[in-house]
């Protein structure tokens, strides 16, 4: 089973509810070193969903994200605050996992490339939750 890539803020791997998060990677050919330029990309889509239920978040299902690839194959996209909302009701949970599925089809040096990658995010509930303690100043 593939290990998911955990998105990170500049602080840690958890994303407080309603905050932004940066997704970044470089699309490479089969040799894992040659960048695939955006001119070779046929399609690039994003689907954002709740890991436990499969519910689509913020209407981000098969959204075209080709514009987030640069000429050198670097993908860089900021997930907005509305992309990182808690779907669990009330104070029932203190965190949940969201998944951003990126699917890219391209033509590389050695032929067709199909790239699918899951980025997993732990979203922290910012409401008062059981066992929550205010940090001491």
Residue-wise pLDDT for 17-30, tens only, equals 888 888 888 887 77
Neighbouring residues of 132: CB distance < 8 A, sequence distance ≥ 6: 94
Q: Tell how far CA 49 is from the center of its chain.
A: 10
What's 70's DSSP letter?
Answer: -
Mean pLDDT: which of 66-75, 89-98, 106-115, 120-129 is highest?
A: 66-75
Classify residue 132 by its DSSP letter: -
Q: What are the distances in angstroms from CA 115 to CA 4, 29, 85, 98?
A: 14, 10, 27, 20
Q: Spell out the domains of the chain, with CATH numbers in brackets.
A: 5-124 (2.60.40)
> How many residues belong to the chain?
137
**Which pTM does this prediction carry?**
0.76
The tens digit of pLDDT for each residue in 78-115 reads 888 899 888 876 667 788 899 999 998 887 667 787 88
Per the structure block, which two tokens stand in for 114? 């199909």
């Amino acid at each position: 089973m593939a290990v998911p890539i955990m998105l990170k803020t500049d602080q840690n791997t958890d994303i407080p509810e309603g905050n932004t998060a940066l997704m970044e990677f470089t699309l490479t050919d089969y040799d894992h070193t040659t960048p695939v330029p955006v001119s070779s990309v046929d399609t690039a889509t994003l689907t954002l969903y709740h890991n436990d239920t499969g519910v689509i978040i913020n209407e981000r299902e098969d959204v075209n994200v080709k514009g987030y690839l640069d000429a050198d194959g670097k993908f860089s996209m900021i997930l907005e605050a509305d992309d990182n909302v808690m779907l669990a009701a009330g104070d029932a949970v203190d965190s949940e996992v969201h998944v951003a599925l990126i699917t890219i089809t391209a033509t590389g040096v050695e032929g067709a490339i199909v790239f699918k990658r899951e980025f997993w995010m732990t979203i922290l509930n910012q409401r008062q939750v059981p066992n929550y303690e205010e940090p001491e100043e």
